[in-house]
């Protein structure tokens, strides 16, 4: 059917792999992002980094900090600032709900990935709680055990 295409790995422009390692993800949102022309072209060329990025609620809006978009190489006009704060586009109800949850101790907003959705650039934003070092070790042990078990099963076949 036309228009029923789901998001695939090819639609993903950038991912924040550290976020899943360093945080417990509690809730996710899809947000639009306000960009300039050269930034859109750089994003479509996958010339972007989500590492060390985070979001804050300021003046009634959500802003993304540390989101690095390299200047577009073929642009003929003035380049943009690669690390300027980008405004995220959310409904007022969503922003109010996020503000209430961020008031709780130890919660933060982290972008998980940037992707294309029907031609529009979207950010998957997550409400997260930081993992302790013990949690990270436990996750690593569990992944190692699962990998060894699947290896043993494949050898038996």
Say if 66 falls within a structural domain: yes
**Host domain of residue 119:** 11-131
Number of domains in the chain: 1
Say if 152 falls within a structural domain: no
User: What's the half-sphere exposure (Cβ side, CA atoms, 13 Å) at 51?
Assistant: 4
pLDDT of 60 higher than 90:
no
User: Rounded to whole angstroms, what are the CA distances from 130 to 1, 25, 27, 104?
Assistant: 41, 9, 13, 13
Say if 83 falls within a structural domain: yes
Say if 79 falls within a structural domain: yes
Say if 2 falls within a structural domain: no
Alpha carbon 2 to its chain's center: 28
Say if 137 falls within a structural domain: no
Q: For the whole model, what pTM was predicted?
A: 0.74
pLDDT of 3 higher than 60:
no
Structure tokens at 7: 């998001």
Closest CA to 116 of 30, 28, 2, 18: 30
> Contact 142/116 with Cβ under 8 angstroms?
no
Q: Is the dihedral of CA 129, 64, 61, 120 positive or negative?
A: negative
Say if 96 falls within a structural domain: yes
Closest CA to 74 of 100, 107, 42: 42
User: What mean pLDDT do residues 24-53 have?
Assistant: 86
Domain with residue 39: its CATH number is 2.40.280.10
Say if 140 falls within a structural domain: no
- Digit-coded pLDDT (tens) for 110-140: 999 999 888 889 999 999 888 887 777 888 8
Over the Cα atoms of the chain, what is R_g? 18
pLDDT of 9 higher than 60:
no
15 secondary structure, DSSP code:
E
User: Rounded to whole angstroms, what are the CA distances from 151 to 16, 137, 142?
Assistant: 28, 21, 14
């Amino acid at each position: 059917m036309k228009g029923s295409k789901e998001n695939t790995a090819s639609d993903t422009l950038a991912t924040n792999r550290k976020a899943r390692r360093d945080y417990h993800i509690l809730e996710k949102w899809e947000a639009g992002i306000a960009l300039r022309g050269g930034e859109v072209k750089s994003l479509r060329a996958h010339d972007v980094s989500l590492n060390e990025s985070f979001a804050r609620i300021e003046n009634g809006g959500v802003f993304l900090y540390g989101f690095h978009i390299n200047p577009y190489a073929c642009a003929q006009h003035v380049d943009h600032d690669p690390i300027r704060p980008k405004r995220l586009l959310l409904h007022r109800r969503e922003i109010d709900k996020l503000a209430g949850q961020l008031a709780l101790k130890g919660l933060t907003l982290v972008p998980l990935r940037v992707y294309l959705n029907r031609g529009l650039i979207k950010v998957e934003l997550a409400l997260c709680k930081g993992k302790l070092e013990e949690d990270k070790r436990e996750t690593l042990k569990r992944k190692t055990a699962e990998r060894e078990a699947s290896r043993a099963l494949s050898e038996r076949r």
